[in-house]
Amino acid sequence: MAITVPLAERWPVLAAEPNVLAWLGIRSALGIAPRTLDAYCRGLAEYLSFCAAGSADPLTAGRDHVARYVRELTQRPPQRAGAGRDPSSGANLRLANATIQQRLTVVRLFYDHLIEEGLRDNNPVGRGRYAPSARMGGNRRGLVPHEVRLPWIPDEGDWRKILNVARIEPIRNRMMLALAYDAGLRREELCCLRTDDIDPGHRLLRIRAETTKGRRERVVPYSAVSGELLRAYLGHRAGISIARGPLFLSESRRNHADPLTPWTWSKVVRRIAVAAGVPRFGTHTLRHLCLTDLAHAGWELHAIATFAGHRNPATTLQYIHLSGRELASKLAHGMAQLHDWRVAMLATAEPAGHA
């Protein structure tokens, strides 16, 4: 199995379990995204290590064992200072609720596989279910309640701080910041853009299905201001490579003209955020800000969901709630100017150097 070699190197505990390798091999063959596969491997490695520490067989583990695993995840001591998030942000250094949910989901899916293969009769990781009456059990929650937190959105002061730092960035970085906000792009969607995904005549971007979280292709517009930045960047890019292909290229000596990776882009944004004194600003903040501004402008829920590529409109409702929808009629008239203002400084700045 092709997946065995890298697993043996990164997670030896997985390589020792044939059933785990079989399941991961199936998921890989079905075209699971590399980052999702990595998350599966990481989550299963943690669970199998917990089983090994308690001398438990993961293939026959029961609900009591899973309950102890849940307790270990939820009561894990805080990480040491500097090992996790920035303590100054006020974030809890324990495992985030979303991380715990991800860990349990991976274990649940693995046990589903064992049931399908006839190796188990039940799944020890329960699912939250709803029953219409108390006699039937009422509303049954999952092993760990889901916490739904509203996304953090920078205020105008924070945004100005970011722009003051970003305006001296190279043209590539300013272009990426502008498009990430303008088109509400996720990090992978932005970094995976290709030159043939752009329709400059109509100022449209094609977001290919294989680059999206939900595997759903969409076409989104970008502003005239971003169009000017794009024209300038394409001229700059021609000096790096004239070949068609990935839109954003690395300009470092080691990886010159290679496609810019999402991890490199995260480092760029992190550097800008730290320099601006806005540590909570990240690659996904630009998407949150864009969708919130659209809600402020009075866009309907379905239109925002389509623009964002949300499969479930409930995800989009977070931005509607955050927007103060009752103010939409007052703000709608000024949104065109506000939308352009957010990226105008990026278009007029002179680059100071390369990242």
Biggest CA–CA distance in the chain, Å, is 71
End-to-end CA distance of the chain: 39
- Residue 96 in any domain: the answer is yes
Residue 353: C-alpha distances to residues 126, 248, 274, 346 (Å)? 53, 16, 18, 14
249-252 contacts at long range (C-beta below 8 A, 24 or more positions apart): 249/172, 251/170, 251/172, 251/354, 251/355, 252/354
The pLDDT assigned to 133 comes to: 45
Query: What pLDDT is recorded for position 345?
Result: 73
How many structural domains compose the chain? Answer: 2
Q: Domain check: are 160 and 75 in the same one?
A: no
Answer yes or no: are the C-beta atoms of 39 and 70 closer than 8 Å: no
Q: What is the CATH number of the domain that holds 112?
A: 1.10.150
Q: Whole-angstrom Cα distance, residue 270 to residue 89?
A: 14
Q: Do residues 119 and 176 both lie within one domain? A: no
Please report the pLDDT score of residue 193 as a whole number: 97
- Statement to judge: residues 170 and 32 lie in one domain: no
Q: Which residue, chain included where needed, has tokens 């882009």?
A: 265
Q: Considering the domain boundaries, does residue 208 fall inside one?
A: yes
**In a structure prediction context, what are the per-residue pLDDT tens digits for the chain, which is 355 residues long?**
445 445 557 788 888 888 998 999 898 888 787 778 888 999 999 999 999 998 889 999 999 999 999 889 888 765 543 333 443 333 445 778 888 888 999 999 999 999 999 999 999 987 754 444 444 444 455 677 766 677 788 988 999 999 999 999 999 999 999 999 999 999 999 999 999 999 999 999 999 998 888 888 999 999 999 999 999 999 999 999 999 999 999 999 888 999 999 999 999 999 999 999 999 999 999 999 999 888 888 888 888 899 999 888 877 887 766 655 444 455 555 566 667 777 777 777 666 655 5
* Co-location of 171 and 269 in the same domain: yes
Residue 322 located in a structural domain: yes
Measuring CA to CA, which residue among 256, 288, 287, 252 is closest to residue 267? 252
Residues 321, 174 share a domain:
yes
Q: Are 258 and 142 in contact (CB under 8 A)?
A: no
Cβ atoms of 288 and 153 within 8 Å: the answer is yes
Q: At what angle do helices 285-296 and 301-308 cross, to 10 degrees?
A: 160
The pLDDT, as a whole number, for residue 157 is 93
Same domain, yes or no: 121 and 33: yes
Domain identity same for 331 and 278: yes
Residues 208 and 307 both lie in one domain:
yes
Domain containing 184 equals: 156-348
C-alpha 191/C-alpha 262 separation (Å) is 6
Q: Give the DSSP H or E segment for 74.
A: helix 63-74
33's CB contacts (< 8 A; 6+ apart) are none
CA distance readout (Å), 197 to 18, 83, 168, 205, 218: 42, 39, 27, 6, 11
